């Protein structure tokens, strides 16, 4: 019995130690930008699900597009010169190729604006391509600037 309890306690302890490192730097720039990117996903994925499942709801889609557009600037200022440390998933290329990173960011910002414009039309036929364009900007940036 005591042996089983000890094994359980050790297992829990080891699993807790396997977690992602905590961002303990002032202002928590890595954690802040990660939370901002997660907010993108919370707004973007439901739009994709609507389109993939052919259950387009123009009002809900617009709400998600507005929220994504409102959040689109949040992570970028948190990529400071001293923010490449665990738990960052960014590659060194973010800081080695700042012009290329800025170009990817600007493409994302423009694409989200176009998605919002299309969502305001409330016409499913007009949102498919802009949704894919936002998706493509995310994938393009991740290929160069996010660790796999």
Question: For residue 99, what are the contacts with CB-CB under 8 A and spacing of at least 6?
Answer: none
Nearest to 124 by CA among 59, 78, 32: 59
Please write the tens of the pLDDT for every residue from 37-76: 999 999 999 999 999 999 999 999 999 999 999 999 999 9
Tell me the pTM.
0.84
Distance CA 11, CA 99 (A): 46
Percent of the chain with pLDDT strictly greater than 70: 86
Domains of the chain: 42-145 (1.20.120.10)
**134, 44 Cβ separation under 8 angstroms:** yes
- Which residue shows structure tokens 């890595």? 30
Please write the tens of the pLDDT for every residue from 93-111: 999 999 999 999 999 999 9
């Amino acid at each position: 019995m005591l042996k089983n309890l000890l094994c359980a306690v050790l297992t829990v302890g080891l699993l807790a130690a396997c977690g992602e490192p905590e961002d303990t730097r002032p202002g928590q720039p890595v954690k802040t930008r990660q939370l901002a990117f997660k907010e993108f996903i919370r707004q973007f994925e439901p739009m994709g699900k609507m389109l993939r499942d052919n259950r387009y709801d123009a009002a809900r889609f617009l709400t998600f597009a507005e929220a994504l557009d409102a959040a689109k600037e949040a992570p970028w200022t948190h990529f400071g010169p001293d923010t490449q440390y665990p738990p960052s998933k960014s590659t060194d290329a973010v800081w080695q190729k700042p012009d290329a990173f800025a170009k990817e960011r600007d493409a994302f910002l423009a694409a989200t604006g176009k998605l919002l414009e299309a969502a305001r039309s409330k016409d499913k036929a007009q949102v498919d391509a802009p949704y894919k364009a936002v998706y493509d900007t995310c994938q393009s940036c991740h290929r160069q600037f996010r660790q796999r």
